[in-house]
Amino acid sequence: QVFLVIVIAFFLLLFIVVIPTLEAHIAEYDEYWRARELEAIENLDKAYHPNPEKVVCHYNVHFSRTMLEFFITKSVLAKSKKGPYEVTNPVDSCWRCDSDWEKNRKNLVNCAPGFARGTTGGKGGEFYVVTDPIDNATGRKPGTLRHAVTQTGPLWITFKRSMTIKLEQELIVTSDKTIDMRGTNMEIRNATGITVQFAKNIIIHGLHIHQIIPAKGGKIKDGEKHLGLRSASDVDKIFLFRATNI
């Protein structure tokens, strides 16, 4: 009898702990989220790479090249690259060499090494300029970051000016988006973080995230025409769950 009680207690604990984890903050698992989950499973199969060693080798080549440039003097860089630029990582060393990068923002997709190679984000869509730092969980106001990341289809999201955004609830990013902060000082601080769940093909570049605090959950805009019920979020700056090509 004692053994039976232990077994029952174990499975109850498993149910309490594992089931919420599988749904990952989704308090109401409706048809919208079921469809997104099925799509995410298909995307996971497509993202599988049969030769991970080759992918790692590709990244190492880019990293080695960046470190080599790091140790070259700025004067040499200025002559060889037609102007000085700051070498920081394989991605930045790619786009910073272009003096017209602001006009060629979407060339950023060519800079991702390793497993991120091939991620295009919002390259196939229009530019969306965020003008308002105010956040509301329902995300109905155009010009806000939440309104931008929940639109259907690809978008390349930029910012009109530097700003600090205090997210009211977790920011749920949908597929095929680029959040491009280059040229501005963008911060998310003293608020909850970003969630990429059952989504694919997302680029986030140049964002500073500080002092993340959990949110209680509630109704949150998680799609262009959908408000979903979420449970409490955690303190992850960027939470990934069944996401591919990020």
For residue range 168-207, list pLDDT tens digits in order. 999 999 999 999 999 999 999 888 999 999 999 999 998 9
Q: Are 110 and 55 in contact (CB under 8 A)?
A: no
Q: What is the mean predicted confidence (pLDDT) over 6-15? A: 48
The whole-number pLDDT of residue 14 equals 42
Reading the block at residue 54, the tokens are 């080759």
The rounded distance, in Å, linking the Cα atoms of 181 and 192 is 19
Nearest to 196 by CA among 36, 21, 31: 36
Q: 19 falls in which pLDDT band (50, 70, 90)?
A: very low
Q: 16 falls in which pLDDT band (50, 70, 90)?
A: very low
- Strand boundaries in the chain, DSSP class E: 126-130, 155-159, 163-165, 171-172, 177-180, 186-191, 194-197, 202-205, 207-212, 218-223, 226-230, 238-241
Q: 61 falls in which pLDDT band (50, 70, 90)?
A: confident
HSE, side-chain direction, 13 A CA sphere, residue 168: 14
Nearest to 116 by CA among 63, 172, 186, 195: 63
CATH, domain range 26-51+117-241: 2.160.20.10
More confident residue, 24 or 132: 132
Show me where the domains of the chain are located: 26-51+117-241, 52-116
The whole-number pLDDT of residue 29 equals 86
The whole-number pLDDT of residue 80 equals 54
The whole-number pLDDT of residue 181 equals 94
Out of 17-21, 28-32, 58-62, 156-160, give the one with best mean pLDDT: 156-160
Q: What is the mean predicted confidence (pLDDT) over 68-73? A: 58
User: What does pTM read for this prediction?
Assistant: 0.81
Q: What is the mean predicted confidence (pLDDT) over 216-243? A: 91
